[in-house]
Amino acid sequence: MHSTKTRPRRAAMTACAAALALLAAGCSKASAGAQTGGCRDDGHWTGRQQAAWLRTAVTIRGTVDGSSYTDASVVVRPPRTGDVRVLCQPLAVQVEFWTVTATTTGTEMSSVMRYRLSSDGSRTRTVGFPAGLPGGQDGTCTRVLVAAYAGAPLTDRQLPRLAGDLSTADDAAVRFATERIGVHRLLPALDSAQCDADRRTPSPARTGSTDWDIYHP
């Protein structure tokens, strides 16, 4: 009788253990699926990986009529290609504006304003160009450089430099000593005739920095 009662009990215990094993495996798979399917793990991304994400998420809209920067903006939105899941950890994004002016001694580059925001790719954020950007009406050849990059503000060593003639320079002429830059654009001068008249071959110049620092939560 004792052995007869033990067999069903052992069978029940074996079945229970098997069920628990299946449940544990199922929970493990569900947890892994939630982590990979619910959001994109970016906790250990390098600067290069962050920049790659920004390239799919940032659009720089230049001037509409070529006469002012009123309608120009930087748009940070959900990625358009690749893995479009939201980021598990919002990415710190800096949007910075510089003026680039031809001078008798070369090229002067000065930081005008910097915006800081966070983005996980779940919604669209739009940053307008700062008011009061020069348009060349003051008799100088001036262009605007804008960049979106990840992480902390650029250090002195990482600030942009311009190689070549300001009047004919393109985006490729702007050099940053960091891989964190996602997108940058050197906008055409509003007064292109002034740049043509003031054409000279500037030498690369280091960027001056200002105290502008605007935060967008």
Q: What integer pLDDT is reported at residue 171 of this predicted model?
A: 95
CA atoms within 13 A on the CB side of 150: 22
Q: Of 84, 98, 95, 182, whose CA–CA distance to 133 is shortest?
A: 98
Same structural domain, 66 and 146: yes
Q: What integer pLDDT is reported at residue 160 of this predicted model?
A: 95
Same structural domain, 145 and 86: yes
Same structural domain, 56 and 98: yes
CA angle 51, 57, 61 (to 5 degrees): 110
Number of domains in the chain: 2
Contacts of 84 (CB under 8 A, 6+ apart): 78, 121
Same structural domain, 61 and 24: no
Residue-number span of the structural domain to which 4 is assigned: 1-38
Q: Of 80, 74, 86, whose CA–CA distance to 125 is shortest?
A: 74
Same structural domain, 149 and 187: yes
Same structural domain, 161 and 183: yes
SS3 76: strand
Q: What does 121-170 look like in DSSP terms, one character per residue?
A: SSS-EEEEPPTT---STTSS-EEEEEEEEESSPPPGGGS-EE-S-TTT--
Q: What is the mean pLDDT of each run of 10 residues along the chain (217 residues)?
A: 50 53 45 58 95 95 76 92 93 96 87 96 94 74 94 96 89 95 92 70 44 44
Gyration radius from the chain CA atoms: 27
Q: What integer pLDDT is reported at residue 31 of this predicted model?
A: 36
Q: End-to-end CA distance of the chain, in Å?
A: 74
Same structural domain, 94 and 28: no
How far is C-alpha 125 from the chain's CA centre?
Answer: 12
Quote the CA–CA distance of 56 and 146 in Å, as a whole number.
Answer: 17
Q: What integer pLDDT is reported at residue 177 of this predicted model?
A: 95
Q: What integer pLDDT is reported at residue 215 of this predicted model?
A: 44
Q: What integer pLDDT is reported at residue 194 of this predicted model?
A: 76
Q: Of 24, 34, 128, whose CA–CA distance to 76 is shortest?
A: 128
Same structural domain, 108 and 192: yes
Same structural domain, 61 and 107: yes
Q: What integer pLDDT is reported at residue 18 of this predicted model?
A: 54
Paired residues of 60 in beta bridges: 74
Q: What integer pLDDT is reported at residue 6 of this predicted model?
A: 47
Quote the CA–CA distance of 178 and 54 in Å, as a whole number.
Answer: 14
Q: How many C-beta atoms lie closer than 10 Å to residue 204's C-beta?
A: 14
Same structural domain, 91 and 29: no
Same structural domain, 16 and 81: no
Same structural domain, 196 and 96: yes
Q: What integer pLDDT is reported at residue 149 of this predicted model?
A: 98
Q: What integer pLDDT is reported at residue 217 of this predicted model?
A: 40
Q: What integer pLDDT is reported at residue 205 of this predicted model?
A: 44
* Region of residue 50 (phi > 0: left; psi between -120 and 50: alpha; otherwise: beta): alpha
